[in-house]
Amino acid sequence: MAQFEGFVADPILMAPAARPRVSNRTWLSAYFGTPGNALITILCLGTIFGLAKLAIGWLFLDAIFSGTPAECKVSSGACWPFLSTKLRYIFFGFYPFDEQWRPLTAMLLFLGACGVSMVPRTWGRALAVTWIVVILPTLYALMAGGLFGLTVVPTTQWGGLPLSFMLSFVGLACALPLGIALALARASSLPAIRILGVGFIEIVRGVPLISILFMATVMLPLFMPDGITIDKLLRAQVAIILFAAAYIAEIVRGGLQAVPKGQIEAGHSLGLHYWQIMRKIVLPQALKKVIPPLVGLFIGFFQDTTLVTIVGLLDFLDTVRTAMRDPQWQGIAVLEGYVFAAVVYFFFSALMGAYSRFLEQYFRTTHD
Amino acid sequence: MSLFYDARIRAFLYQTIAIGAVVFVAWAMFSTASANLAKQDIATGFGFLARQAGFVITETAIAYEPTDTFGRAILVGIANTVKVSALAVFFGTILGVLVGIGRLSHNPVLSRLMLAYVEALRNVPLLLYLLLWYSLIISVFPPVKQAIEMLPGVFLSNSGLVMPAMRWASGFESLLIALFVGAAAAVAIERVLARRRIATGKEMPVATIAALAFLLPLAATLLFADISVSMDVPELGRFRLTGGYHVRPEFVALLIGLTLSASANVAEIVRAGIQAVSKGQWEAATALGLPRSRTLKLVILPQALRIIVPPLTNTYLTVFKNSSLAIAIGYPDLVMVSNTIMNQTGQAIEAIAIFMAVYLGLSILISLVMNWYNARVALRER
C-alpha cells in the first residue's frame, strides 16, 4: 500500500471536483439563443406561415366545394367539384364504368397483401408461393376478366392507379431475379459472361429510362416478325423490367461484395459447386444486406412509372392529365389534378420510405 | 461425359453458349428489322443527317435555322440538354449544400423545415413536378397581350420572360479572353500565396489580391479595346413580343424542376457525408476554439467531401438523364429533337441509336471527370 501513499495525498487530486457548469440553455435558447439563430427562426416561421396561408386560402377559403365549372372559373381557389366528378376516371381510367369495382377490389387486395408481406415475420417460402399461386392470378383475373363470368377487359382499357401499381410492382418482381443474375454475371470469373453483364448494366444505366421506353414502343415492333404484335402495355412493362434489373444488379453487387470471401472458400472446401454456394451461402447473406436499399430503389421506380405517360399509356399521372384536358374543365382545373396526384404519390412513397427505415433498424438490431 | 467435368471445358462451353445466344438474338432482330423496313419502304442509314431539317426549334443554345440539316438540329438538341443540365447541377449543388447543412442545424425550426423540403421533393415524381411548375407558370402569369413590364424593356408573361439582349458588334472576343486571363491569374495567385502561407506562416489578403488580378484585365479591356454593343430592346406588339432575349416557360419549368430535385438529393448526400465525419473532429475543433461555422468549413466539409463525391457523381448523372423529361413539357432537348426527326423521317432506329449513344458518351464523360475529381480529394494514404 505504501507505494500509493504519495498518490493519495496529492492535494490536487484530493480536492473536490469542480462543479460542472450548469448550462443555462433552456428550450427557448435553441430557437432564440443568439441574434443569428433568432433571425433564422423568425425567417423559417415566416416561410411556414406564408406557405400555410397560401395553402389554406387555396384549399379552403377561396375554394369552390360544389358547383359547376363556370363557378370554378371565377374563383381563384381550388375547384373541388372537379375532383369529385373526375375521381373515378382519375383512379381507373377508361376501365368500363360498371366494372370498376374490379380494379378497386384488385387494388385493395394488392395493398392488403403488400401490407401483410411487409411484416418480416411472414417472410418465407409460403408467402412467395401464396403470391405466385393465389394473389397474382386473382389480381390478373379481376383485371382482365374472362373467368367466373367476368367480362373481358382488354389491357388498352386498363388505366389509372392500378396500372401504376402493376407497372412498378410487376416491374420490380420480375427485375429482381434478372438483376441478381446480372450481378452474378458481373462477378463471374468467366470473362465473356462478365463482359456481357457489365455491358448490359452500364449501357442501361447510362441512358435515360425514356430512351428505353421509346425503344420498346417505337423500335421493338420493327424487330418483330410479321404477324406478331406485342401488347403496348407489355412492351412498356418489359422496358421497365430491363431498366430496373440494371439498377438492382448494382445494388446486389454491393451486397455480394460485402460477403466475406471466406464464405465462398468454405463452400468450396465443403465440396459444393458454384450454384450451391451462391444459392445456399452467398445470396442469402448478400440479399439480406440489400433489402433496405432495394426498398429505396422501389420508391424511385414507383415514381418513374409516370414516364409511361410520355409513350401514351394511361397511368395514374396520365389519367390526371387527361381529366384536366377534358373540354368541360380545360383551363379551369389547372393545378387541382396535379396537387391531388402529388398527394397520392407522396403518401405511398413516404410510406415506403418509412418502411425502408424500419427495415434498416430491424436488420441492425437482429444479428446478421 | 468426363470432359464435361473439366472446369476449363465447361467454362469454355458456357461462354460459347452465352455469346452464341446474344449473337443469334442480335442477328435475328437485325434481319427481321431490315426486312420490315424494306417492306415499309423506310430508308436506312445515317444519310438523313445531311438533309434539310425544315422544322423550327423554339430554343436554340447554338445558332440554328430550319434550313439547316438534321445533323445540326441534333447538335442543337445536345446543346440544349447540356445547357439545362449544367445549370441545374450548378444551382442544385449550391442549394443542396445549404439545405443539407440546414438539416443538421441546431435550430429545430430550420432543420424540420429543411426535412420537409427534402421529403416533399423526394416523394413526388419529378415528371409531376415539371408539369406542375409548367402549368403554374402558364396559369399564374398573364398572356402576352397584358405582359407585365417589370423594368423598362423587361416583360413577364405566360410565354416567358423577355429582356433586352446585348448584340455585340465587336469586342466580344477580347472581353472573353480578358475574362479567362483574369480567372487564370486569380487561381494562380491564390495557389502561390497559399504555398507561401504554408511555407512562411504569413497571412496575406488573398481574396483582395485575387479579385484584383481577376478584375484588372477586364477593366483594361473595357477601357482600351474597341467595344461596340447595341441593346436589342423587346417591343410589345399586338400578339407577341419581338426582339430581345427570350427565356421560355418550358426552360424555366425544366430548370426549376431539375434544380429542386437535384438539390434534394445533394442535401441528403451532404447530410450523410457530414454525419459520417467522426464526432471527435467536431469536439477537437471546438476544443481549439473554432466557432461552428469555421469548424464546418475548415474541418468537417473537407473530410466530408471524400464521402460526398462518389454519390454526387450519381446525382449529376441522374440530373443529366432526367433532363430527357423535357419532352413532356416541350423543351427541345436531345430527346425531343430526335423524336421530331423520328416522326419526319420514320428512321426510328437511327434516331434512337443516336440519342442513346450521345447519352451514353456524355454519361461516361461525366463519370470520368468526377472520378478525376474524386481522386484529387481522396485521402492520400502514406
Query: Of A37-51, A139-153, A167-181, B210-224, where does mean pLDDT reach its minimum?
Result: A139-153
Smallest CA-to-CA distance from A339 within B139, B161, B110, B95 is with B139
Beta bridge partners of A74: none
Instruction: Spell out the long-range contacts of A6-12 with Cβ–Cβ below 8 A and sequence spacing 24 or more.
Output: none
Instruction: Work out the minimum CA distance from A192 to partner chain B, whole angstroms.
Output: 6
Torsion on CA atoms B48, B52, B58, B61, rounded to nearest 10? 80
Which CATH code is given to the segment(s) A60-95+153-365?
1.10.3720.10
Query: Which residue of B113, B124, B325 is in closest CB contact with A44?
Result: B113
Amino acid at B235: E
Torsion on CA atoms A65, A67, A69, A71, rounded to nearest 10? -90
Mean pLDDT of chain A: 82
CB B171 within 8 A of CB B225: yes
CB of B109 less than 8 A from some CB of A: yes
Q: Identify the three-state secondary structure at position A79.
A: strand
Q: Residue A7 has what pLDDT?
A: 45
Question: What is the rounded CA–CA span in Å between residue A206 and residue A259?
Answer: 27
Question: Residue B35, Cα to own-chain centre: how many angstroms?
Answer: 40
Give the list of residues 6+ apart from residue B164 with CB closer than 8 angstroms, or none: B153, B154, B231, B232, B233, B234, B244, B245
User: What average pLDDT score do residues B47-74 get?
Assistant: 80
Smallest CA-to-CA distance from B337 within B88, B80, B130, B82 is with B80
Q: Residue B370 has what pLDDT?
A: 78
pLDDT at B379 over 90: no
pLDDT at A368 over 50: no
Task: Tell if the CB–CB gap between A41 and B109 is shorter than 8 Å.
Answer: yes
CB B15 within 8 A of CB A192: yes
Side-chain half-sphere CA neighbours of B181 within 13 A: 13
Task: Tell if the CB–CB gap between A207 and B356 is shorter than 8 Å.
Answer: yes
Instruction: Work out the minimum CA distance from A210 to partner chain B, whole angstroms.
Output: 7
Radius of gyration of chain B from its Cα atoms, rounded to whole angstroms:
27
Taking only the tens place, the pLDDT of each residue in B332-360 is 888 888 888 888 887 888 888 888 899 99
Task: Tell if the CB–CB gap between A317 and B335 is shorter than 8 Å.
Answer: no
Orientation angle between helical segments A101-117 and A136-144, nearest 10 degrees: 170
Give the list of residues 6+ apart from residue B30 with CB closer than 8 angstroms, or none: none
pLDDT at B257 over 90: yes
Chain B residue numbers touching A346 (CB-CB < 8 A): 120, 123-124
Chain B residue numbers touching A48 (CB-CB < 8 A): 109, 113
Query: Which residue of A218, A225, A309 is in closest CB contact with B32?
Result: A225
Query: Which residue of A208, A223, A353 is in closest CB contact with B29?
Result: A223
Backbone angles phi, psi at B230, to 5 degrees: -120, 145
Query: Of A300-314, B226-240, B298-312, where does mean pLDDT reach its minimum?
Result: B226-240
Task: Tell if the CB–CB gap between A190 and B135 is shorter than 8 Å.
Answer: no
B70-126+248-377 homologous superfamily: MetI-like (1.10.3720.10)
Task: Tell if the CB–CB gap between A335 and B138 is shorter than 8 Å.
Answer: no
Mean pLDDT of chain B: 84
User: What average pLDDT score do residues A315-327 get?
Assistant: 85
Question: What is the rounded CA–CA span in Å between residue B166 and residue A119?
Answer: 63
Q: From residue B223, give the alpha-carbon distance in Å to each of B165, B184, B219.
A: 22, 21, 6
CB of B65 less than 8 A from some CB of A: no
Task: Tell if the CB–CB gap between A208 and B18 is shorter than 8 Å.
Answer: no
Q: Residue A6 has what pLDDT?
A: 42
Smallest CA-to-CA distance from B263 within B316, B321, B329 is with B316
pLDDT at A84 over 90: no
CB A304 within 8 A of CB A239: no
Smallest CA-to-CA distance from B174 within B110, B222, B233 is with B222
Task: Tell if the CB–CB gap between B19 and A191 is shorter than 8 Å.
Answer: no
pLDDT at A366 over 70: no
Q: Residue B209 has what pLDDT?
A: 85
Q: Residue A202 has what pLDDT?
A: 87
Chain B residue numbers touching A207 (CB-CB < 8 A): 321, 356, 359-360, 363
Smallest CA-to-CA distance from A196 within B16, B364, B7 is with B16
Taking only the tens place, the pLDDT of each residue in A115-141 is 888 888 888 888 888 888 888 888 888
pLDDT at A8 over 50: no
Per-domain residue ranges of chain A: 60-95+153-365
Question: What is the rounded CA–CA span in Å between residue B251 and residue B256?
Answer: 8
| Local confidence band at A246 (pLDDT 50, 70, 90 cut-offs) | very high
The CB density around residue B62, as the number of other CB atoms within 10 Å, is: 11
The three cell numbers of residue B187 are 487561381
Chain B residue numbers touching A356 (CB-CB < 8 A): none
Using a pLDDT cut of 70, give the percent of chain B over it: 96
CB B103 within 8 A of CB B274: no
Nearest chain B residue to A199, by CA: B360
Query: Which residue of A196, A210, A303 is in closest CB contact with B335?
Result: A210
Chain B residue numbers touching A208 (CB-CB < 8 A): 321-322, 324, 335, 359
Question: What is the rounded CA–CA span in Å between residue B226 and residue B174?
Answer: 9
Interface test with B, best of A167, A182, A195, A210 (most B CBs within 10 A): A210
CB A186 within 8 A of CB A194: yes
Chain B residue numbers touching A206 (CB-CB < 8 A): 359-360, 363-364
CB of B115 less than 8 A from some CB of A: no
Instruction: Work out the minimum CA distance from A243 to partner chain B, whole angstroms.
Output: 13
Taking only the tens place, the pLDDT of each residue in B126-176 is 999 999 999 888 887 877 777 777 777 777 877 778 877 777 777 777 888
Task: Tell if the CB–CB gap between B110 and A225 is shorter than 8 Å.
Answer: no
Give the list of residues 6+ apart from residue B275 with CB closer than 8 angstroms, or none: B104
Question: What is the rounded CA–CA span in Å between residue B226 and residue B220?
Answer: 11
Task: Tell if the CB–CB gap between A207 and B119 is shorter than 8 Å.
Answer: no
Chain A residue numbers touching B117 (CB-CB < 8 A): none
| Local confidence band at B319 (pLDDT 50, 70, 90 cut-offs) | very high
Task: Tell if the CB–CB gap between B124 and A303 is shorter than 8 Å.
Answer: yes
CB of B365 less than 8 A from some CB of A: no
pLDDT at A2 over 50: no
Question: What is the rounded CA–CA span in Å between residue A304 and residue A199?
Answer: 23
DSSP state of A20: P
User: What average pLDDT score do residues B184-194 get?
Assistant: 87
Per-domain residue ranges of chain B: 2-41, 70-126+248-377, 165-232
Give the list of residues 6+ apart from residue B202 with CB closer than 8 angstroms, or none: B196
Cβ-Cβ contacts under 8 Å between A and B: the total is 144
Q: Residue B176 has what pLDDT?
A: 85
CB B112 within 8 A of CB B102: no
Amino acid at B257: G
Taking only the tens place, the pLDDT of each residue in B79-102 is 999 999 999 999 999 999 999 989
Q: Widest CA span of chain A, in angstroms?
A: 103
Task: Tell if the CB–CB gap between B324 and A210 is shorter than 8 Å.
Answer: yes
CB of B355 less than 8 A from some CB of A: yes
Task: Tell if the CB–CB gap between A215 and B352 is shorter than 8 Å.
Answer: yes
pLDDT at B259 over 90: yes
Chain A residue numbers touching B37 (CB-CB < 8 A): 222
pLDDT at B113 over 90: yes
Task: Tell if the CB–CB gap between B352 and A211 is shorter than 8 Å.
Answer: yes
pLDDT at A332 over 80: no
Nearest chain A residue to B130, by CA: A338
The three cell numbers of residue B266 are 445533394
Q: What is the 3-state secondary structure (H, E, C) of chain B?
A: CHHHHCHHHHHHHHHHHHHHHHHHHHHHHHHHHHHHHHHCCCCCCCHHHHCECCCCCCCCCCCCCCCCEHHHHHHHHHHHHHHHHHHHHHHHHHHHHHHHHHHCCCCHHHHHHHHHHHHHHHCCCHHHHHHHHHHHHHHHCCCHHHCEEEECCEEEECCEEEECEEEEEECHHHHHHHHHHHHHHHHHHHHHHHHHHHHHCCCCCHHHHHHHHHHHHHHHHHHHCCCEEEEECCEECCCCEECCEEECHHHHHHHHHHHHHHHHHHHHHHHHHHHHCCHHHHHHHHHCCCCHHHHHHHHHHHHHHHHHHHHHHHHHHHHHHHHHHHHHHCCCCHHHHHHHHHHHHCCHHHHHHHHHHHHHHHHHHHHHHHHHHHHHHCCCCC
The three cell numbers of residue B41 are 419502304
CB A330 within 8 A of CB B103: no
Beta bridge partners of B156: B148, B161
Chain B residue numbers touching A218 (CB-CB < 8 A): 342, 348, 352
User: What average pLDDT score do residues A233-245 get?
Assistant: 91
Using a pLDDT cut of 90, give the percent of chain A over it: 11
Q: Residue A30 has what pLDDT?
A: 73
DSSP state of A133: I
Beta bridge partners of B148: B156
Q: Residue A5 has what pLDDT?
A: 44
Interface test with B, best of A25, A37, A219, A317 (most B CBs within 10 A): A219
Task: Tell if the CB–CB gap between A193 and B15 is shorter than 8 Å.
Answer: yes
Question: Residue B62, Cα to own-chain centre: how many angstroms?
Answer: 16
